[in-house]
Structure 1
Amino acid sequence: MENILLIFICLFVGLMLQRVRQLPAQAHKVLNLFVIYVSLPALALYYIPKIVLGPALLYPLGVAWIGFGFSFLFFRTLGQWLKWPRRLTGCLIIVSGLGNTSFVGFPVIQALYGEQGLQTAIIVDQPGSFVVMATLGIITAMVFSGNKPDLRTISMKILIFPPFVAFVLAAVMNLLNTDFPTLLQQSLQKLGATVTPIALVSVGLQLTFDVKSRHWRFLSLGLLFKLFLTPALIFILYRCILGEKGMAIDVSVMEAAMAPMITGAIVASGYGLKPKLSSMMIGIGIPLSFLTLCFWHWILSVA
């Protein structure tokens, strides 16, 4: 219960810090960099060597790939039918197709499912959401913005991204059945624990609400897709069609139901794919997702 309370306290702190004039306007970027360069690599290095490999891991691994593919088919088809501008279609594909499986996902999953659930969430995020964002997400952004995909640039972005480097190192350690010394493990665990407060304060710093925006119709469609249709697809596929149950499946569905990914919105904005709509998807989607996540947690508990 205290972990759930911590989520809302950190969001509130971030919102209040928006009113502090002494705080730099780009303070959230500094916090994001700390999470990306320190907290997330520490989590990967602490948990992944301890994960027991098995077929069940394919389910959380597939969440981001299935979700992005579904988003591409859905919004590209709809965009062609309704003759949307390519930049609008590209924005919705990326922002609605990528989930906030780490910044918001990790603290929520840890609060609901504990340390074991967090191990599964890391599989959803590291080889899942991050790799999809850094490959399919960037390629989609380039194509729908009119640029030609640069495979060398994309490859370098993946290979030098700190969480991915840490993930590869941790995966090798897992395969070799080795781990860090106990003292170093404790340090990594404490560094990884900073994900929750720092990431959520950063999210709170970025929350904005523009009631006069013209994007509400597309915002509603994008969030309906991300918060309901994507987790519904994962739930039906994993629980109903394949008949699988257990914590790994529940965490997969919950991660599929997370709000849009902040980094995905940054990628869309960086390529000129409706930056205001991207920001609104984050600003409205994150607080709204706490309500819809309650719905999906209830569905999983009674199904």
Structure 2
Amino acid sequence: MSQIIILQKISISIIIIFLGYAVKKMKFLPNETGKVLNNFIIYITLPASIAKVFFTTKVSTNLFILTFSGFVMGFITFLIGLLIFKNANLKKETKGTLMISLCGYNIGLFAFPFIQQIYGSNGLLHIAMFDMGNSFNVFGIAYIAAYVFSQSSKIDIKKVLKKILYFVPFDTYIIAFTLNILGFKFPSLIVNLVEQISLPNTTLALFVIGYFLDFNLDKDELVSLIKGLIIKYIPGIVLFITLPLFFSTASMTIKAIMLGSIMPTALVAVIYSDERNLNVKLASIFITSTTIITIIFMSLIMLKW
């Protein structure tokens, strides 16, 4: 794909993001619009997009490296943050939000739309395999961290496991992937239905990202934010520099690893922070900052390779 077409597609996506931000600022929609749209995406269009990938493309066993990479990259970033902020002079709720913000990436709602537009169904399959590993961090480790750093000292293991096991996108990954591996063939009616439901996901996901953008920074939170951002992008930057030295950047697998490792913080950081009385504003700022930084890094990767 030519650089002009890539620039056009990235530009369109960015315009949709800032359209969401503008609509929020102009207060055209009710205050709860962001949460409503986010839930609609998470429980309707995103699962459909995930299912569509596995229903229409045969998974190759060599793509398991992407699932492993998705888990390892997010987990390493989480551990680095844990070591650095463990003895930091910060409020417990601020530490908790930093930890869940460093644990995993926003693949489904952010990467899917961009990857689909630039690399098509094959690119979507690769990034979906990366996201499968990432989902264990986002819906598992991050949720446990939110409990640990909340005001409650006792962890409700049953509630944590229930939250993970009943989360629709995660369940969709496991079920669709298993059926794909087993060679199950869905009727064309089901495949067409899933594809139809998934159609709004790209536009809605980009719009919601813009709707959650927040540029208000407090001085007290600025230092923690900067440290967190550095930690967040260290692994991705290292891969960006080293992977092309040893592997061909024409490989979609290599592109998926590089792109996946520089994705922004998952939107669940806000949801978990709100649920466990952590620093919701910092979570929002972290998502905003990582979204902007990721757009820059992602554009460089797509244009260069």
**Contact 1:109–1:118 at 8 Å: present in 2 too?**
yes
Aligned to 1:155: 161
AA in 1 matched with 2:209: V
Q: Match for 2:205 among 176, 180, 199?
A: 199
AA in 2 matched with 1:138: Y
**Contact 2:126–2:253 at 8 Å: present in 1 too?**
yes
**Contact 1:68–1:94 at 8 Å: present in 2 too?**
no
Q: Secondary structure at the match of 2:108?
A: coil
Aligned to 1:44: 50
Q: Secondary structure at the match of 2:220?
A: coil
Q: Match for 1:255 among 251, 256, 260?
A: 260
Structure 1 residues 68 and 57: CA distance shift in structure 2, 3 A? same
After superposition, residues 47-86 of structure 1 pair within 5 angstroms as 47-86=53-92
1:168 correspondence with 2:153:
no
Aligned-residue offset at 1:252: 1.8
Supply the distance in 2 between the matched residues of 1:237 and 1:113 (Cα, whole angstroms). 22
Supply the distance in 2 between the matched residues of 1:76 and 1:238 (Cα, whole angstroms). 26
Which structure 2 residue ranges, 5 or more long, are not aligned?
none
**TM-score of the superposed pair, with normalisation by structure 2:** 0.87
Q: Match for 1:120 among 110, 120, 126?
A: 126
Aligned to 2:141: 136
**How big is the alpha-carbon RMSD for the aligned residues of Structure 1 and Structure 2?**
2.5
Supply the distance in 2 between the matched residues of 1:172 and 1:298 (Cα, whole angstroms). 34
**Contact 1:42–1:191 at 8 Å: present in 2 too?**
yes
Aligned to 2:106: 100
Q: Match for 2:276 among 271, 280, 283?
A: 271
AA in 2 matched with 1:251: A
Supply the distance in 2 between the matched residues of 1:185 and 1:103 (Cα, whole angstroms). 21
Supply the distance in 2 between the matched residues of 1:68 and 1:148 (Cα, whole angstroms). 25
Q: Percent of aligned positions with the same letter in both sequences?
A: 25
Q: Secondary structure at the match of 2:253?
A: helix
Supply the distance in 1 between the matched residues of 2:243 and 2:228 (Cα, whole angstroms). 23
Structure 1 residues 269 and 225: CA distance shift in structure 2, 3 A? farther
Q: Secondary structure at the match of 1:214?
A: helix
After superposition, residues 275-294 of structure 1 pair within 5 angstroms as 275-294=280-299
**Contact 1:56–1:248 at 8 Å: present in 2 too?**
no
Which structure 1 residue ranges, 5 or more long, are not aligned?
none
Supply the distance in 1 between the matched residues of 2:25 and 2:93 (Cα, whole angstroms). 33
**Contact 1:60–1:252 at 8 Å: present in 2 too?**
yes
AA in 1 matched with 2:64: L
Q: Secondary structure at the match of 1:40?
A: helix
* Equivalent pairs, count: 297
Supply the distance in 1 between the matched residues of 2:263 and 2:184 (Cα, whole angstroms). 32
**Contact 1:95–1:268 at 8 Å: present in 2 too?**
no
Runs ≥4 residues deviating over 4 A: 233-241
AA in 1 matched with 2:137: V
Aligned to 2:234: 229
